Homo-oligomer: A and B are copies of this chain.
Amino acid sequence: MLEHAHELLDRARRLILSRVERGFEVQTKADGSPVTSVDLEVEQMLREGLEERFPEHGIIGEEFPPHNPGADYQWYIDPIDGTHSFCAGIPLYGTILALHHRGRPELGLIDLPALGERYSASKGQGAWMNGKSIQVGEGVGEPIIATADRAQFQRVGREGALDRIMLRFPHVRAYSDCFGHAMAVRGSAGAMVDFGIRAWDLAASRVLVEEAGGRYEVVHQDGDRFCVILGRPAVVQAVLTCI
């Protein structure tokens, strides 16, 4: 299943980069967030690839209704996480693909097409970036803390948490979306603090960071919006303490 996930993400990356080259349309969704023709095209391609290979599995994706919602195995898809960056031409967007079994994450993948970086993990088998084993490590000096945009904290009424983090840590960077998650998984950031996100935004991150020796905490849930912190255990603890 991991091998198939890699193959699908290879296809997604090629599709995305070809659309960046040629240009694409941007529309606004009912919730005010942007969506592009590329989001729809990539999710459709991933769904078809998964349905063909695993017809009995369920699929939960950002742009289309759930498929087989009662199945034990559920795939999560975010075709372009970081659509705001993607539309603006900022190369820090990516594709998220994850597989959960009865609610437990089994596989987690983040692909960053513009950076040529692929993060993957499977339960009990370690975490990898482009074929190299990765660990969150111990870090040296003041950690970089990656966070969502302030607008995301405001959406769930938690700007105070961001303010406290910025007072405590000198290197707080709004490395939104899956780029921030990836930086925490590889230990480049001490932690990623992502507030107000949805199931497909975080579906790959728990298995990725835990397999890299890190800690994952859901600190708050309000309806379908989650607030999570992931990264080096000591830094996650320090962030939890300060918020």
A144 touches B (CB below 8 Å)? yes
Given A114-B115, A172-B174, residue A186 in contact with residue B89 (CB < 8 A): yes
Contact of A174 among B91, B140, B174 (CB under 8 A): B174
Q: Which of A1-42 contact B (CB under 8 A)?
A: 26, 34
The distance in angstroms between the C-alpha atoms of A151 and B176, with both chains bound, is: 19
Chain A count of residues within 8 A CB distance of the other chain: 31
The distance in angstroms between the C-alpha atoms of A26 and B88, with both chains bound, is: 34
Q: Is the CB of A149 within 8 A of B174?
A: no
Q: Is the CB of A150 within 8 A of B174?
A: no
CB distance from A109 to the nearest CB of B (A): 18
CB distance from A227 to the nearest CB of B (A): 18
The distance in angstroms between the C-alpha atoms of A188 and B92, with both chains bound, is: 11
The distance in angstroms between the C-alpha atoms of A141 and B34, with both chains bound, is: 10
The distance in angstroms between the C-alpha atoms of A117 and B92, with both chains bound, is: 13
A58 touches B (CB below 8 Å)? no
**Residues in chain B near residue A166, CB distance under 8 A:** 150
**Residues in chain B near residue A117, CB distance under 8 A:** 91
The distance in angstroms between the C-alpha atoms of A26 and B115, with both chains bound, is: 24
The distance in angstroms between the C-alpha atoms of A183 and B89, with both chains bound, is: 8
Q: Is the CB of B186 within 8 A of A84?
A: no
A221 touches B (CB below 8 Å)? no
Q: Which of A101-146 contact B (CB under 8 A)?
A: 114-115, 117, 140-141, 144
A171 touches B (CB below 8 Å)? yes
CB distance from A220 to the nearest CB of B (A): 20
Contact of A151 among B91, B154, B171, B188 (CB under 8 A): B171
For A174, the closest partner residue in chain B by CB is B173
CB distance from A163 to the nearest CB of B (A): 9
The distance in angstroms between the C-alpha atoms of A89 and B85, with both chains bound, is: 21
A196 touches B (CB below 8 Å)? no
The distance in angstroms between the C-alpha atoms of A50 and B186, with both chains bound, is: 37
The distance in angstroms between the C-alpha atoms of A42 and B126, with both chains bound, is: 35
Given A172-B174, A173-B173, residue A188 in contact with residue B149 (CB < 8 A): no
Chain A residues at the B interface, C-beta cutoff of 8 Å: 26, 34, 84-85, 88-91, 114-115, 117, 140-141, 144, 149-151, 154, 166, 170-176, 183, 186-189
